[in-house]
Amino acid sequence: MKAHTVLFLICLLDLGRLMLAGSSFSFKENFDVMWAPDHFSTSEDGQTWYLTLDKKTGCGFQTKNRYRFGWFSMKLKLVGGDSAGVVTAYYMISDTGKERDELDFEFLGNRTGQPYTLQTNIYKGGVGGREMRHMLWFDPTKDFHTYSFLWNDHQIVFFVDRVPIRIYKNTDATKDVFPNEKPMYMFSSIWNADDWATRGGLEKTDWKNAPFVSTYKDFHVEACQWEDPYPACVSTTTQNWWDQYDAWILSDGQKVDFSWVGRNLVIYDYCTDTTRYPKLPAECSVSPWH
């Protein structure tokens, strides 16, 4: 076995142990509530966090620090029951301006008994329109599941419970649309989006079911922490495993999982939407195996 592969596996084992210990990080150490603090609450030990949406407002929080490249992970349990019109968002964003970079997990609620849709999107310089939608292979309202970003200068990978569901590569074809220059905050929110979120806005939020609550815990980050005017990398490992060769490509096992997701769970891919994009964006020609 090659030395860099052994190193990568050791780092993954260390990461697993750290993630198990992730509950030691308090909310106050990592985050600020950005709006509606009266719609934010925690468990008695402060390790589980609740965001509430009612007819008045939703709620959101973001990391105190900005990061440029790394591994970012959170466990979420989504609103149960009739959640049509409700969006729980978990994303990375450089700022809220028109020229922002952004990586999105958006969980689109549905009528009782219907599955959630997971939408992902990628912005560079304020330009998005790179939506993919997946069905999940479990009920995300029954228990916590882990949602993660791997972001380095070679690829962005969206993970659900360690299964890669989306890959976005940095190549000559994508260098102008790959978000790799701006540091980003991690942000989470719950909000009403019944003008578009469920069946294109046909299903409206039923406020009789309010309040709607999304639940978070076990935030974990290993990343390059940005400090103006220069980035100072802060990592729990001497070798930043998330920027080593084995984090630039999928492992054989990840390729199998990713292929299974592509065959069974993708319900929309902008790269196949020729009505919307008669000329497909350049990044659509890039193989995820590159």
Which residues are known to be catalytic? 102, 106
Residue 290 maps to a domain? no
Q: How far is it, in rounded angstroms, from Cα 5 to Cα 164?
A: 19
What pLDDT, on a 0 to 100 scale, did the predictor assign at position 20?
A: 34
Residue whose pair of structure tokens reads 């990628």 in the numeric block: 122
**Cα 109 to Cα 86: distance, rounded to the nearest angstrom:** 5
Span 31-43, pLDDT tens digits:
999 999 999 999 9
Strands 102-108 and 86-93: antiparallel
Find the CATH number of the domain harbouring 58.
2.60.120.200
Contacts of residue 217, defined as CB under 8 A and 6 or more positions apart, other chains included, come to 23, 47, 48, 49, 74, 75, 144
Mean pLDDT value across residues 148-175:
96
Mean pLDDT, the chain, rounded, equals: 88
- Using CB atoms within 10 A of its CB, is residue 255 exposed (0-12), middle (13-18) or buried (19+)? middle
Question: CA 255, CA 181: separation in Å to the nearest integer?
Answer: 28
Q: What is the pLDDT of residues 210-241, one digit of tens each?
A: 999 999 999 999 998 888 887 777 655 556 89
Rounded to the nearest 5°, which phi and psi values hold at 256? Answer: -65, -45
- pLDDT for position 237: 52
Residues contacting residue 263 through CB under 8 Å, at least 6 positions apart: none
Domain that holds residue 237: 3-285
Task: Quick: pLDDT tens for 190-208.
Answer: 999 999 988 888 899 999 9
Average pLDDT over residues 166-175: 94
Is residue 188's pLDDT more than 80?
yes
Whether residue 103 is contained in a domain is answered as yes
Q: Given the DSSP bridges, would you call strands 145-151 and 155-160 parallel, antiparallel or unpaired?
A: antiparallel
Q: How many domains does the chain have?
A: 1
Q: With 60 as the cut, is the pLDDT of residue 143 above it?
A: yes
Residue 65 is assigned to a structural domain of this protein: yes
Confidence band of 5 (pLDDT split at 50, 70, 90): very low
**What integer pLDDT is reported at residue 30 of this predicted model?**
86
Q: Does residue 193 fall inside a structural domain?
A: yes
Quick one: pLDDT at residue 28?
81
Strand partners, 269: 132
Peptide bond into 231 cis (omega under 30): no
Report the predicted TM-score, pTM, of the whole model to 2 decimal places. 0.89
Can you give the pLDDT at residue 204? 94
Query: What is the CA angle 118-147-39, rounded to 5?
Result: 80
Is residue 279 situated within a structural domain?
yes
Would the pLDDT of 99 be above 70? yes
In a domain, 223, yes or no: yes
Does residue 101 form part of some domain? yes
Whether the pLDDT of residue 24 is over 60: the answer is no
